[in-house]
Amino acid sequence: MIRHQLKSAVKNTALLCLLFLISLPAFSAKLAIVIDDLGYHPREDAAILAMPKEISVAIIPSAPYARQRNQLAYEQGRDILIHMPMQPISQMNIEAGGLSIGMDAQQVAHNVQQAKNIVSHAIGMNNHMGSAATADRPLMTELMAELRKQHLFFLDSRTIGRSVAEKIAKESGVRALQRHIFLDDSDVYGDVQRQFQQAIHYARKHGTAIVIGHPRKNTVAVLRQGLANLPPDIQLVSMGSLWRDEKVVPPAPFILIFSDKPAPTSVAPFEPVPLLRGVPR
């Protein structure tokens, strides 16, 4: 009788495990989100750093709280990028330590090294502005040479359609990725929502969507809602996982494995055990 009950329990457990495996989400697409411009505003930065650690952050080296954000994000196990100021087509000034057209190899190397000293836990770099810089082959060639020495990948924010950054990175042996969706070009809540849904659609169609946003009130609100209701076929991933080209892996199931052998106390002759109730004599 007891043996029959044990076998029945094992079968039921196996069935439950099978049902659990079937119910696991079948991830088919990756969603990577980078939040730029960290290092300026404590409240907004804190809202971003309270989000899942898969959300990567890009820190401007010259920002007043750059070192603090770098350390806190690292302690969270969060991926960090150097958000490097680069020359735009407009006449806007860029932050100190940025990259401008006409810089020689020594100047570029110095500025990248200075940025890396501040954002010391960075695994990559993306451009802050840079519509002119990322379209300039000589400057990008010098930048990629230094990124290769620093073992950093490059994420092209694609602030201009004729950017050559990704092409030159690959020619230089630097791993390069590019932004697919801007989350908050418009700061209107409904617009940010639509961009988030566009990112989901892009990920499903192409397999991966790289999204860039900023630490703003409506961006934070949309991300909180969107990530809490992320479709089961979409996996939120860090930039580091894309850099390392990791595969989409569903969460490992928790499976209990039972032996089909009966417990010793259910086989005669029974041996009484102190403090073990219900053992026949």
Provide the 10 A C-beta neighbour count for residue 97.
16
Report pLDDT digits (tens) over 54-87: 999 999 999 999 999 999 999 999 999 999 999 9
Q: 31-61 burial by CB neighbour count: b if 16+ within 10 A, else e?
A: bbbbbbbbbbeeebbebbbebeebbbbbbbb
Q: Does domain 29-243 have CATH number 3.20.20.370?
A: yes
Residue count of the chain, please give it: 281
- pLDDT beneath 70: ranges in the chain: 1-27, 247-281
What CA–CA distance (Å, rounded) separates 98 from 83? 10
Report pLDDT digits (tens) over 85-114: 999 999 899 999 999 999 999 999 999 999
Domain boundaries, the chain: 29-243
Provide the 10 A C-beta neighbour count for residue 138.
14
Kindly report whether the global pTM for this prediction surpasses the value 0.75: yes
